[in-house]
Structure formats: structure tokens, C-alpha cells
Amino acid sequence: MMVKNNMWRSNIADLLYQATHAKQVHIHWLRKNCIPNPGSWFTTREKAFGGVSRDLMPHLLSLFVAMNPKWKQAQVNGQMALTCWNLENIESTEYGTVNPTGTYDVDDRCHILFGNKWTLLADWRTMKEDDSSIKFIMEDNSIEKFELGWCPEEAYHNMIVDAITNIDNQKFWQNQLEIDLWIHSRIENL
């Protein structure tokens, strides 16, 4: 089972309710300057298989699944994975150290649009203020924002307890497999 800890946040039912009543939902994980160890294995496609699309997008996709009961029918309306930076223009990072003689051949910004309602956007380095949030744009154009922050430890605990509780529940594991395969198919197509 892929670790999808965000699906076990204690407020996931509230987020589902908000998403159901919103006309648009924006799930963002944007960091000011947080490329993981630029120049290391983490930014080498051959070793990491990809960048932010493999690091952060699976978390956003699991939130999308948790907040959208029709996730299986969701149609991709647009997607991209870009490399915006290179080792010549990365002097520092908030996450590790820079190896200027290493490799940097992965995406550091990506997004997926589902229909006209859902926007998922992940970026390791915007050089702007961090924004890890879900924004619900309501019918009256008001915006309700939920700050994600780091996933609480309680969500990991809940995920593990649920898996153990359902150890012999084939329906539970089949559903997890379907979610995992769907997430993998989305990131493989970026």
C-alpha cells in the first residue's frame, strides 16, 4: 500500500464537505526554496525517477481522491512537469545542501487540472512565500482556505491502525490498490 497519510487527516470529512460545495478547489504545495539536496541522487532522474512530480504530487493526488468521490471518472484537462532551475542558478536550499558538480535533471514544478474544478500544483522553489493549502472557491466567489502544513503524526497513526484493522478485509485492500494504481498512472503521464 502506498503511504497516503493525508487521506487519514482527522478533518478529511470537513474537507470533503467543502470540496463538494465549492465550484473550484486548488490544492497547492508550493515551497519558497526547498529543493531536496540539489545535485544529489534526489535530483537525478535515473535514481529518483522524477522530481516534485514523484515527491509531492502523490500527496496532492491522495487528497484529491479523499475529497472527490468521483475520482475514478476524473478527466485530466491539462498537466505539465517543468524543470525551472539548474545547478548554476541554485545557490542554496532550505532542505539539505547544494552539490554544484552533481546532476539536476528532474522536474521541480508540476500541475494537473481535472475538469474546470480541480487544480493541483506542486513546486519545490517559487522564491515566494510558502503555500501549502487547499483553497475552496465557493459559488459566491468567496474563498475558504485550509492550511495543510506538514501532515500531522496522527494521520500516519490513523492510516496504520486502519490498515491493521482491515488486514483481512479484501475490499479495503482492493480499494487501496485501485487508488495506488490510479495515482501512479497520473504521475507516470506527467
Among candidates 136, 157, 156, which has minimal Cα distance to 146? 136
Higher pLDDT, 190 or 57: 57
Exposure string of 9-39, with b = 16+ CB inside 10 Å and e = fewer, is beebeebeebbeebebbbbbbbbebbbbebb
Contact between 136 and 25 (Cβ < 8 Å): yes
pLDDT at residue 166 greater than cutoff 90? yes
Helix (H, G, I), strand (E, B) or coil at 111: strand
Domain ranges of the chain: 5-188
Burial class from Cβ neighbours inside 10 Å (0-12, 13-18, 19+) for residue 156 reads: middle
pLDDT at residue 189 greater than cutoff 90? no
Chain segment 106-161, per-residue pLDDT in tens: 999 999 999 999 999 999 999 999 999 999 999 999 999 999 988 899 999 999 99
pTM of the model: 0.94
> What architecture is the 5-188 domain classified under in CATH?
2-Layer Sandwich (3.30)
pLDDT at residue 164 greater than cutoff 90? yes
Handedness of CA 97, 99, 100, 103 (dihedral sign): negative
